[in-house]
Amino acid sequence: MSVRPEIRALAPYRFAARPHLVKLDQNESPYDLPSAIKARALKHLAQLPFNRYPEMQGESLRQAIAAYHDWPIDGVVISGGSNILIQSFVIACGIGQTVLTVSPSFAVYAMSAELLGAKLSELPLNLDFSLPHQALRQELSQGSGVFFLANPAAPTGNVFSEAELRELIELAAPNWTVVIDEAYYQFSRTDFSGLAKEYPHVASLRTFSKAFGLGGVRLGYALMQPELAQNLQKTMMPFSVSSLQLAIGLAVLEHSDLLEPRVREVETERERLLEALSKIEGVSANPSETNFFLIKVSEPQEFFAQLLKCGVLVRRQDHLPGLSGYLRVSIGTPQENDAFLEAVKAITGEFATGVNHG
């Protein structure tokens, strides 16, 4: 086989499905779409000619996104999930140059660099999950490429300030493209897209998978200035977003007001969970501005297994740099969150009394 050495050496992305009653492991919305939006989407679908190719670059959805964000349509690029846009940025700005990010962060940045044979530079976050400013300044002052920064950060859940971003963006010009991944911005009530309007080398990456609740549909988009968008679009295959995806995305934007109460409920539930966990001995919960948070426990593997025995599925993070002892918990429905809290109380009580879990 003529498979490239970089591909042979790359570990496959694995995700193990596990039996569960409460699913809090993938940062999804805990709710399906409201029936009114589903009905609107089905109306769109019923009118589609399935025998015809979709719009070449998803023009109708790009126009709706442009109106939603008050953005020029020529600065909107859509894809079948933001992961594809990350890969496109590496193709456009990283191959033969450098993919820069921090660690821990969203794994797809590093995966895309390795997959496409780009040089990868991952700079460790500080112990408090703040940015390693000195190391970033040094990296951005030399070389060229693409710099990915999730903000709100994943998996740590904190938000970096606009002043911090602006300093790095100005240092990055003109040799670096800066991609601010704002997948969780609705939950933090932040919006850094203005930096993409101000600077031609900056893009704001967005997704329909989180607050919009379309994880199963696979839709992502990016906002940037038209010149950068035009060059990024060259890396994407024509007709790559299906008519079905476009129809569902349009329906969601037409009724986006129906989703706002759900986003606010996630915020309320997040704060309720963090407050409750602060009173439980043996568990340390990190503050978060997203629809998930980290907890630190003394025996993460055992704690994960005991939660699963209680029917609660979360995500281990203790294998990641700087996250020894951590698990990640997505915000569920109030009932799911209650089940998680009850499981934690039961497990910590057992740990405290020295029960052997075998």
Which domain CATH number covers 279? 3.90.1150.10
- 242 shares its domain with 280: no
Number of structural domains (the chain) is: 2
User: Rounded to an integer, what distance in angstroms lies between the CA atom of residue 72 and that of residue 313?
Assistant: 42
CA 229 centroid distance within chain: 21
At residue 88, the 3 state secondary structure works out as helix
Please identify, among 212, 227, 256, the residue that sits at the C-terminal boundary of a domain: 256
User: Rounded to an integer, what distance in angstroms lies between the CA atom of residue 313 and that of residue 305?
Assistant: 9
Please identify, among 222, 256, 290, the residue that sits at the C-terminal boundary of a domain: 256
- 233 shares its domain with 290: no
Instruction: Give the C-alpha distances (Å, rounded to integers) separating 7 from 14, 106, 113, 119, 146.
Output: 15, 20, 11, 14, 21
Element (H, E) at 149: strand 145-150
- 189 shares its domain with 217: yes
Cα distance between the two ends of the chain: 45
Q: Tell me if 222 is assigned to some domain.
A: yes
Q: Tell me if 358 is assigned to some domain.
A: no
- 47 shares its domain with 174: yes
- 217 shares its domain with 309: no
CB-based contacts of 82: which residues, under 8 Å, 6+ apart? Answer: 181, 183, 205, 206, 207, 209, 220, 221, 222
pTM: 0.94
- 247 shares its domain with 135: yes
Q: Tell me if 20 is assigned to some domain.
A: yes
- 195 shares its domain with 271: no
CA 105 centroid distance within chain: 9
Domain of residue 99: give its range.
35-256
Taking only the tens of pLDDT, the chain with its 358 residues reads 899 888 888 888 777 777 788 999 999 999 999 999 999 999 889 999 999 999 999 999 999 999 999 999 999 999 999 999 999 999 999 999 999 999 999 999 999 999 999 999 999 999 999 999 999 999 999 999 999 999 999 999 999 999 999 999 999 999 999 999 999 999 999 999 999 999 999 999 999 999 999 999 999 999 999 999 999 999 999 999 999 999 999 999 999 999 999 999 999 999 999 999 999 999 999 999 999 999 999 999 999 999 999 999 999 999 999 999 999 999 999 999 999 999 999 999 866 555 444 3
- 280 shares its domain with 167: no
Cis peptide before 49 (omega within 30 of 0): no
- 274 shares its domain with 246: no
Model pLDDT, residue 130: 98
User: Rounded to an integer, what distance in angstroms lies between the CA atom of residue 14 and that of residue 330?
Assistant: 19
- 179 shares its domain with 193: yes
In a 10 Å sphere around its CB, with 0-12 CB exposed, 13-18 middle and 19+ buried, how is residue 222 labelled? buried
Alpha helices for 133-199 (secondary structure H): 133-140, 162-172, 185-188, 193-198
Q: 119, 122, 118, 114: which is closest to 8 by C-alpha?
A: 114
User: Rounded to an integer, what distance in angstroms lies between the CA atom of residue 242 and that of residue 236?
Assistant: 13
- 220 shares its domain with 282: no
Which residue's entry shows tokens 């989407």? Answer: 41
Please identify, among 256, 273, 289, the residue that sits at the C-terminal boundary of a domain: 256
Q: Tell me if 357 is assigned to some domain.
A: no
Which residue's entry shows tokens 């890396």? Answer: 235
Q: Tell me if 223 is assigned to some domain.
A: yes
Q: Other CB atoms closer than 10 Å to residue 99's CB: what's the count?
A: 25
Model pLDDT, residue 291: 98
Cα-based angle 246, 250, 251 (whole degrees, multiple of 5): 120
Q: 241, 248, 212: which is closest to 44 by C-alpha?
A: 248
Q: Tell me if 282 is assigned to some domain.
A: yes
CB-based contacts of 184: which residues, under 8 Å, 6+ apart? Answer: 27, 152, 154, 210, 211, 289, 290, 291
User: Rounded to an integer, what distance in angstroms lies between the CA atom of residue 307 and that of residue 316?
Assistant: 11
**Could you give the dihedral angle defined by the CA atoms of residues 74, 28, 33 and 338, in that order, rounded to the nearest 10 degrees?**
-150
- 238 shares its domain with 307: no
Q: Tell me if 82 is assigned to some domain.
A: yes
CATH number, residue 211? 3.40.640.10
Q: 309, 310, 277: which is closest to 296 by C-alpha?
A: 277
